[in-house]
Amino acid sequence: MAEEKAKTKGLLVVYTGDGKGKTTAALGMCVRALGYNWKICIIQFIKGSWKYGELKGIKRLAPDVELHTVGEGFVGIIDDDKSFEEHRAAARKGVQLALDKIKSNQYRLVILDELNVAMDLGLVTEEEADEILAARTDKQHLVITGRNASESILEKADLITEMREVRHPYQQGILAQKGIDW
């Protein structure tokens, strides 16, 4: 009996759910892929106004890992003073950047952090997301993170992990901590 060659293809991976760890899981995959000398591009939708530890950490992985923060911050919450149109314009730039980076064929792994949230908020349309998915080659892996993944994205995904909150330190009065949460 002839040995079957393992089937390989670029995967669509979705990390979603109401629990913490979606971006962290994607960054773990980034580090794993970096161990095999892959070029990686990370585009963060939504995040933008706050400074996270991953911004500093990923800079240390350059030039093999690129990080682009295209969002204007969290929409409609906390310290958001921008209009929906400003957020939508930033998301459109992010969609175009994602298309450009994917079509360049320079990256084996592309991570679209918080794209699910951008879609849920109406900043990125289903059509724009479909255009991004259609742009990748059969060798490119795409990771999409964020709560409230659309049915359309879930139907197309090869791997879906749902983070479920079981316990959170905030419930005990413990605030988000530098190096752990941001």
* CATH number for the domain that contains residue 151: 3.40.50.300
- 6 band by pLDDT with thresholds 50, 70 and 90: low
Domain-embedded: residue 3: no
The rounded distance, in Å, linking the Cα atoms of 6 and 88 is 42
Domain-embedded: residue 54: yes
Domain-embedded: residue 177: no
Q: Which domain range does residue 29 map to?
A: 12-165
Q: Is the pLDDT of residue 36 over 80?
A: yes
How many domains would you assign to the chain? 1
Domain-embedded: residue 179: no
The confidence score (pLDDT) of residue 154 equals 98
Nearest to 43 by CA among 172, 174, 144: 144
The confidence score (pLDDT) of residue 109 equals 98
Domain-embedded: residue 173: no
Domain-embedded: residue 85: yes
Q: Is the pLDDT of residue 114 over 70?
A: yes
pLDDT digit string (tens) for 64-79?
999 999 976 666 566 6
Average confidence (pLDDT) over 46-70 = 83
- Edge-to-edge strands, sheet with 12-16: 65-69, 40-44, 109-113, 141-145, 12-16, 159-162
Domain-embedded: residue 94: yes
The confidence score (pLDDT) of residue 51 equals 66
- 5 band by pLDDT with thresholds 50, 70 and 90: low
- 2 band by pLDDT with thresholds 50, 70 and 90: very low
- 169 band by pLDDT with thresholds 50, 70 and 90: confident
The confidence score (pLDDT) of residue 161 equals 98
The confidence score (pLDDT) of residue 44 equals 93
pLDDT digit string (tens) for 149-159?
999 999 999 99
Domain-embedded: residue 61: yes
Q: Which residues contact 1 (CB under 8 A, 6 or more apart)?
A: none
